[in-house]
Structure 1
Amino acid sequence: MAAIMVGLRDGMVVTSSSGGKEKVGRGGGVYNSRRRIKQFIVGAKTRILFFISFLFLFFIICTRITTFMGWHPHYATSRGDGYTVLINTWKRNSLLKQAVGHYASCSGTDAIRVVWSEIDPPSHKLLVYLKNIVRSKSQTAHKPNFKFDLHEEDNLNNRFKPIEDLRTDAIFSVDDDVIVSCSTLDLAFSVWQTAPSTMVGFVPRMHWLDVEKDGVAYYKYGGWWSVWWMGTYSMVLSKAAFFHKKYLDLYSYEMPASVHEYVTRERNCEDIAMSLLVANVSGAPPIWVKGKIHEIGSAGISGLKGHSKKRNQCLNDFVSLYGAMPLISTNVKAVNAKHEWFW
């Protein structure tokens, strides 16, 4: 009989005859199963550890991405870092109360100034009510300063009159029927701090060359749907926008008097005039910040018949008065990366 050799191979019982054939027994089956389970557990732990490390690295990158890109956002942490909310109102006290109460609750609000252009001054009752609501709604130890800026004449140029005793460089110009959430407002403020010479806002508009005849260009004014369709804009409206306080002086004292007279006469387009002024001074496009704004009142003059035609005429008349087209188109949009997974 041929010799039989008995040995172990990987925990299995192996018998071999001189003929070279091997027989594998079942004696090591339990050991082998345990070994495979152990290998599976070790592999799973490794994969889980790798996944956790990846998530941690991804989080670090997301929190530091603005630094990597050279953008260093600032947030309102003291009186000098805040902004002044400049509210334009006209015989809508119920809307004014809502707006003042909301913006008083934003931590970056250093002051609230109300542009009042009615013949009769605000009542003492309204003044006391608004001051009380500012104190009660404010979430910070430093309570925003509240004041009416009274104007004897009903004139849209009033919304850009210089303001005394301002403590901030940043002005947030807003209509009394527009509400922007505090978090969205803080985002726009941080964007403005990186480009304080331009306008940063939430309502983009555009222009484009329509025809040119005999060396004279004619431009079209595009509303929201034009911006949405074309993916570009060249203005952000002052109904909800940040700009530097110096533009109040420039608008009132340096801009051509013919522009003031035009706005007074037509009772329209002061926002286009401001966009042209800022673009002319800065040589830069505005910045549109993505964020929801809530209009709490009824449609204003923008809902009137012939509004688009009037805006076209304003734009071209202003360009004629300026002697050039200072607006610069862009397709840049600032978004909060924490809330945007798909850009």
Structure 2
Amino acid sequence: MRKRGRAIYTNYLGKETVFRKDFVGWLKHVAKPLFGDSFVAPDPFPDDGPLEFEIQGVPTDQEPHDSARYDYNFTSLNLYSYDLWNNAFNPFTLPEFLINAAEPPSNVQIFNESRHALSRADTARQFHRYLGGNQPTEQFTIVITTFDRDEMLNSTLKSFHKIAYLNKIVVVWCNEKRSPPRNWPQIQVPIEFVSAPDSLNSRFIPFDNIKTEAVLSLDDDIVLSHEMVLFSFRVWRENRDQLVGLVHRSTKYSAGHPVYEPNGACQFSLILPTSAFLHKTYLEAYTYQMDPSVREHVDATMNCEDIAMNFLIAHLTKKPPIKTTLYRDFK
């Protein structure tokens, strides 16, 4: 108790400048109206100006915008809370995003004619409002890990042209022997290359380039339809602390030995993070908080990073991953 009391005094009350920052943060938390609309995400349906649509009801011409940061509510962080509380008790060094701080998607907006809405919506804008679940707006970042498959990478990048709610694409370039190419395709969002070690752990580095809470982690050979991505993104927004993806793996015991296999019955054990949405905070947990021996094993075997991330999230949340496709197998 003395140690905790000293930590509270040192970090919150001991210095005038720190106390002022804490007081302002508390005001933001309990009295947001005093700060106007600074914490309200922009309306995805402005009254003026046309909207273009890739598919019915989904706006595709949104300007990239970062996720809102909620630094004030440090108590909602539950990643290794014991270690943070007792050893590194400093709210100003926490991850930039907190998993449960953002507002969840809204409910369906109710209109008198809502029972007929889906069958006779006059416009895509009206259809989207009936569908609900998009207030406030939010975007996601695609993180693609690649080594030396330029043609495949180019094809994958082109496939995301005009997809809705995309903030940017970050390409993790793991080939240390040559520089990333400069002739990548031009799409509606920035494509940023970052160099990283040739390690499967590199896909989970929380790069500063990622400005959104939602991260779609991909391999360079994964081809997804826009509808699959947007549906998975919607599911993730309602389950922000879970791994939400499209490719599953099953585990079982056979003759006393554990078996890991791509196909199975209706049950599945893992979701591959090579095609899954996850919160950026889990990248920080994997890279900086997880026991280093796990990452060392991944480097030694050049495998198992998918198992490590699934176990990490399950350990922190006590929740399973979520699968968003009907496919038993996925090419």
The one-character-per-residue Cα deviations of 1:11-30 (angstroms, maximum 9, x if unpaired) are xxxxxxxxxxxxxxxxxxxx
Q: Residue 263 and residue 246 in structure 1: after superposition, are their counterparts in 2 closer, same or farther (change >3 A)?
A: same
Q: Which amino acid aligns with 1:97?
A: N
The separation in 2 between residues aligned to 1:160 and 1:150, in whole angstroms, is: 13
Q: Which residue of 1 aligns with 2:230?
A: 186
8 Å contact from structure 2 (residues 170, 210) kept in 1: no
SS in 2 for 1:220: strand
Q: Residue 211 and residue 257 in structure 1: after superposition, are their counterparts in 2 closer, same or farther (change >3 A)?
A: farther
The separation in 2 between residues aligned to 1:61 and 1:182, in whole angstroms, is: 20
Residue 154 of structure 1, CA deviation: 1.2
Q: Residue 286 and residue 62 in structure 1: after superposition, are their counterparts in 2 closer, same or farther (change >3 A)?
A: farther
SS in 2 for 1:111: strand
Q: Which residue of 1 aligns with 2:202?
A: 158
* Alignment partner of 1:219 is 2:278: no
* Alignment partner of 1:202 is 2:246: yes
Q: Which residue of 1 aligns with 2:292?
A: 257
Q: Give 1:242's match in structure 2, choosing from 267, 277, 286.
A: 277
Q: Residue 202 and residue 58 in structure 1: after superposition, are their counterparts in 2 closer, same or farther (change >3 A)?
A: same
Residue 62 of structure 1, CA deviation: 8.8
8 Å contact from structure 1 (residues 180, 294) kept in 2: no
8 Å contact from structure 2 (residues 176, 195) kept in 1: no
Q: Which amino acid aligns with 1:221?
A: Y
8 Å contact from structure 2 (residues 142, 215) kept in 1: yes
Q: Report matched runs for 1:110-125 at 5 Å.
A: 110-123=167-180
SS in 2 for 1:98: helix
8 Å contact from structure 2 (residues 170, 209) kept in 1: no
The separation in 1 between residues aligned to 2:272 and 2:135, in whole angstroms, is: 23
The one-character-per-residue Cα deviations of 1:213-252 (angstroms, maximum 9, x if unpaired) are xxxxx5332322x2xx2x1112110111000000111001
SS in 2 for 1:103: coil
Residue 207 of structure 1, CA deviation: 2.0
8 Å contact from structure 1 (residues 73, 193) kept in 2: no
* Alignment partner of 1:149 is 2:194: yes
Q: Report matched runs for 1:77-96 at 5 Å.
A: 78=137, 81-96=138-153
Bigger proportion of residues as helix: 1
Q: Residue 73 and residue 180 in structure 1: after superposition, are their counterparts in 2 closer, same or farther (change >3 A)?
A: farther
Q: Percent identity?
A: 28
Tell me, which stretches of 5 or more residues in structure 2 are unaligned?
1-112, 121-130
Query: Whose Rg is larger?
Result: 1
Tell me, which stretches of 5 or more residues in structure 1 are unaligned?
1-55, 64-71, 139-143, 213-217, 296-343
Q: Report matched runs for 1:1-343 at 5 Å.
A: 59=116, 74-75=133-134, 78=137, 81-123=138-180, 126-127=181-182, 129-130=183-184, 133-134=185-186, 137-138=187-188, 144-151=189-196, 153-210=197-254, 219-224=258-263, 226=264, 229=265, 231-290=266-325, 295=331
SS in 2 for 1:242: strand
Q: Which amino acid aligns with 2:190?
A: N
SS in 1 for 2:319: coil
The one-character-per-residue Cα deviations of 1:162-198 (angstroms, maximum 9, x if unpaired) are 1104221000001101111111100000000000100
Q: Residue 211 and residue 280 in structure 1: after superposition, are their counterparts in 2 closer, same or farther (change >3 A)?
A: farther
The separation in 2 between residues aligned to 1:193 and 1:245, in whole angstroms, is: 13
8 Å contact from structure 1 (residues 184, 291) kept in 2: no
For these two proteins, the number of residue pairs brought into alignment is: 208
Q: Which residue of 2 aligns with 1:41?
A: none
**RMSD (CA atoms):** 2.7
Q: Residue 76 and residue 200 in structure 1: after superposition, are their counterparts in 2 closer, same or farther (change >3 A)?
A: farther
Residue 206 of structure 1, CA deviation: 2.0
